[in-house]
């Protein structure tokens, strides 16, 4: 299994290289010790008097009569080796043919045929496989990932409820009672601020500032907004029966419900994304209100006058 993962990484790297060099044909007739040779939709031949470092062929054949000091990788094509490959030979969806004079190290053939003359020398390992995906193993992996992330989110929600229960409730109330300002907060933090960061990105101060904003500030705001939105969902379900200063139960219920919805393909991810966005906008609202401070709740009363106490 470990070898399969290594081969997959090698294939991905080759595909990326192919994307970087589309339809490129680097020097084929070479002499001396050359470096990387990549050919897409075209054959490569390393003659008997030639030595190159690494050969990658995509969509055609490779003929190695000389020496490859590094690796030989062929995807969707055939490899004919009568010379020397000092490192790995990897063939995907093709045929590897080793002549009697061939000398190679490790051999990796994936969904390919392997033809070997008895005189061919293979000093390393030979791995053959179809590289099939075990969906059962992947299901277990994603289940463990979901359980782990859910436990971490529930723990974070409980911590938020413990140390900032009032702020958590205030942000949740802003979603319900002030949806307009909350949406403005979303626009400010997720659209306006990123546009400003792009504008100053190519300045000396703007580079670290922009990177910090995109890599740290936005993910943190989204995560805290997700906690706010989940807790507010829990509060809406429980109503006023358990609406305490520290909404532990509401946080657990709402966040668990969001995580369960997140299992649904596409729809669940969209709901989770929107929950984090609107929750972060609500956080901007209560932050703005806290920064402005409490406004005057009543007009100045002349000295000596009396006012009636409002009914409770």
Query: Mapping DSSP to helix (H, G, I), strand (E, B) and coil, where does residue 6 land?
Result: helix
**Cβ 39 vs Cβ 22: under 8 Å:** no
**Cβ 51 vs Cβ 70: under 8 Å:** no
Q: What pLDDT does residue 45 have?
A: 93
Residue of 238, 275, 255 whose CA lies nearest to 160: 255
Burial (CB count <10 Å: 0-12, 13-18, 19+), residue 292:
exposed
Q: What six digits make up the tokens of 38?
A: 């990549």
Query: Which sequence spans correspond to the domains of the chain?
Result: 2-129, 135-292
**Cβ 69 vs Cβ 89: under 8 Å:** no
Q: The pTM is what?
A: 0.56
**Cβ 247 vs Cβ 168: under 8 Å:** yes
For 154-191, the DSSP string reads HHHHHHHHHHSHHHHHHHHHHHHH-HHHHHHHHHIIII
Q: What pLDDT does residue 21 have?
A: 42
Q: What pLDDT does residue 163 have?
A: 94
Residues 6 or more apart whose CB falls under 8 angstroms from that of 254 comprise 229, 230, 231, 232, 233, 234, 235, 236, 237
What values do phi and psi take at 272, rounded to 5?
-65, -40
Burial (CB count <10 Å: 0-12, 13-18, 19+), residue 171:
buried
Q: State what percent of residues in the chain have pLDDT above 70.
A: 79
Q: What pLDDT does residue 240 have?
A: 66
CATH 3.30.110 fits 2-129, yes or no: no
CA distances from 94 to 58, 60, 75, 135 (A): 11, 9, 7, 25
Residue of 226, 222, 252, 217 whose CA lies nearest to 172: 226
Q: What pLDDT does residue 293 have?
A: 75
Residues in the chain predicted with pLDDT less than 50, given as ranges, are 1-2, 4-5, 7-9, 11-33, 296-312
**Is the C-alpha dihedral spanning 207, 208, 214, 217 positive or negative?**
negative
**How many C-beta atoms lie closer than 10 Å to residue 218's C-beta?**
18
- Tens-place pLDDT, residues 25-55: 333 333 334 578 888 888 999 999 999 999 9
CA distance 136 to 115: 33
CA distance 189 to 230: 20
- Tens-place pLDDT, residues 114-153: 999 999 999 999 888 765 555 666 778 888 899 999 999 9
Q: What pLDDT does residue 307 have?
A: 41
**Cβ 234 vs Cβ 257: under 8 Å:** yes
**Is the C-alpha dihedral spanning 229, 217, 186, 293 positive or negative?**
positive
């Amino acid at each position: 299994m470990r070898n399969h993962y290594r081969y997959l990484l090698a294939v991905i790297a080759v595909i990326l290289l192919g994307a970087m060099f589309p339809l490129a044909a680097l020097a084929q007739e070479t002499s001396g010790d050359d470096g990387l040779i990549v050919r897409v939709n075209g054959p490569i031949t390393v003659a008997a008097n030639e030595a190159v470092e690494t050969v990658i062929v995509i969509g055609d054949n490779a003929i190695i009569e000389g020496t490859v000091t590094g690796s030989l990788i062929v995807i969707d094509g055939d490899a004919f080796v009568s010379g020397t490959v000092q490192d790995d030979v990897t063939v995907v969806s093709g045929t590897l043919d080793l002549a009697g004079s061939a000398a190679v190290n490790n051999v990796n053939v994936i969904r390919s045929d392997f033809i070997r003359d008895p005189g061919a020398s293979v000093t390393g390992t030979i791995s053959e496989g179809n590289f099939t995906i075990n969906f059962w193993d992947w299901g277990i992996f994603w289940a463990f990932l979901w359980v782990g992330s859910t436990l971490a989110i529930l723990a974070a929600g409980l911590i938020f409820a413990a140390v900032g229960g009032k702020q958590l409730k205030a942000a949740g109330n802003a979603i319900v009672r002030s949806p307009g300002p909350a949406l403005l907060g979303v626009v400010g933090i997720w659209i306006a601020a990123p546009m400003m960061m792009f504008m100053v990105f190519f300045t000396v101060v703007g580079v670290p500032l922009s990177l910090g904003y995109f890599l740290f500030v936005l993910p943190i705001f989204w995560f805290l907004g997700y906690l706010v939105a989940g807790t507010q969902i829990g509060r809406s379900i429980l109503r006023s029966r358990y609406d305490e200063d520290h909404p532990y139960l509401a946080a657990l219920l709402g966040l668990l419900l969001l995580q369960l919805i997140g299992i649904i393909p596409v729809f669940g991810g969209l709901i989770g994304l929107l929950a984090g966005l609107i929750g972060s906008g609500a956080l901007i609202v209560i932050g703005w209100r806290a920064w402005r401070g409490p406004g005057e709740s009543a007009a100045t009363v002349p000295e000596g006058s009396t006012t009636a106490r409002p009914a409770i």
